[in-house]
Amino acid sequence: MKRIAVFCGSSYGASNIYKEGAIQLGKELVKRDITLVYGGASVGIMGELANTVLAEGGEVIGVIPTLLEEREIAHPPHLSELYTVHTMHERKAKMAELADAFIALPGGPGTMEEFFEIFTWAQIGLHQKPFGLLNIHQYFNPLVSLFDHMVEQQFLQEKYRSLAMVDSNPSSLIEKFTTFEPISVKTYS
């Protein structure tokens, strides 16, 4: 595993613990010699994550759409690479192309949308890469409960539910990625 894409907030959230979690993840990526692929901004926990990887001597690839380049304040030129794309769709596609795995940190609707697209793409066979939620400060507990409810109500098969790995520790989440086994593509017959 050479590159992990991380989806996360462009704000800091209500607690400093989210920032600390992003810093921990950044250090873990560098420790494992994994390049960070992220949304390209210099703000919020997104910026903290990138700054940590850079400060620790790691590589960072940013992907930012022109629409957000000024609003999210694109990270300065000392990123390893910065791709500027036209749309959010292109951003997600480029990040998916570049990454070997995906992690969502706490964030808002944009973070969730990016994560759910990767989840959906795995179900229909557009990729066979591991992905998960870094559950800092139990942020994702309501979402994990919703996944379980989806299984109970038969809108999500357990084998697909299990694709979304969840852990509160960056090291053990990445370790789970190393034993990932792709599953068969969803069919309706």
Neighbours of 102 (CB within 10 A): 26
Domain assignment present for residue 185? The answer is no
Domain assignment present for residue 186? The answer is no
Domain assignment present for residue 126? The answer is yes
Average pLDDT for 94-116: 97
Three-state secondary-structure class, residue 96: helix
Total of domains in the chain: 1
Domain assignment present for residue 189? The answer is no
Q: What is the 3-state secondary structure (H, E, C) of 37-81?
A: EECCECCHHHHHHHHHHHHCCCCEEEEEEHHHHCCCCECCCCCCE
Residues 133-150 pLDDT 10s: 999 999 999 999 999 999
Domain span at residue 48 reads: 3-178
Pick the residue with more confidence: 188 or 119? Answer: 119
Residues 40-80 pLDDT 10s: 988 899 999 999 999 999 999 999 988 877 665 766 667 89
Domain assignment present for residue 7? The answer is yes
Domain assignment present for residue 113? The answer is yes
